[in-house]
Structure 1
Amino acid sequence: MTTMPTDAPPAPDDLPDLRPIIASDDAAQAVHEVLAQYAESADTSHLGSLTDEELVVLMGGIEAVEPVGQWYPGLGEHPQRVSRATALRSLTSREEVIVTQDAEGDLSARVSRRLMALLRMRFEPVGLSAQSMTRQGPSWYVLRRAG
């Protein structure tokens, strides 16, 4: 396997579709594992968070991450590509997602257990959604019950 070239920012079709991974039984098991580790941890103040840009890359588009990322469709094509590339680079640097390309040009992704669990938990119904306005724009708090 070779790594994905980084000379041009990725287009939406340049990235593997992670939805089958997120919907898998393995992802459901990852939720149980991550929540069990979290419950045993001395620091239970933060399970994890992802930026709007990371969610857009990981979930395959803005529709899957609403209400966050409302600003994203207003970007032009090039800024959207740069945003996706930056988000993917951030995820890769944290070893959350590793994207590889085989000799035929097919892409595949390896997703960390923690990230797989966080993304799977996004499928849970929203129990509470609150928005606050900051100088940088809206900030969202979305509460979901998991486990």
Structure 2
Amino acid sequence: MSQTDVITLPKVLGKVPEVVMNLPGLIKGSRMSKITDTTRPLGLGVAFEKVAANNPDGLAVIYRDRRYTYRQFNAWANRIADYLASIGLKKGDTVALDMENRPEFPATLIGCAKLGVCAALINTSQKGKVLTHSFNLVKPKA
């Protein structure tokens, strides 16, 4: 085979529609969307569990002077999920999350996802009637 016969990956990829490039993700998403077991959390919680298992000592979050490995961050999210379960929340319930950007935000979001609880993200700049409307709109249990 001569150099002119070699087809480089970028040339091939440029001709493949984007949908085909995303096919593995689409298939995985399709499989996950057909799961009907209401006791099994999906999505972000499951994905973070897999990442933490594959790279437990890797840095997950660096924030100011704090550093969290995937193992530590996953344990933190698990504690949050346990707490939410202890106050009676279950899959399908909604909580309102009104928090500035800091490590507690993704830890809480992942903790909710692990339990199957929907975290309604509330804009922290809202006040008064607009904030009340946002809370009333999602009807959070916590």
Q: Give the TM-score normalised by structure 2.
A: 0.25
Find the structure with the greater CA-based Rg: 2
**Higher fraction of helix:** 2
| Higher relative contact order (Cα pairs below 8 Å, separated by 6+ residues) | 1
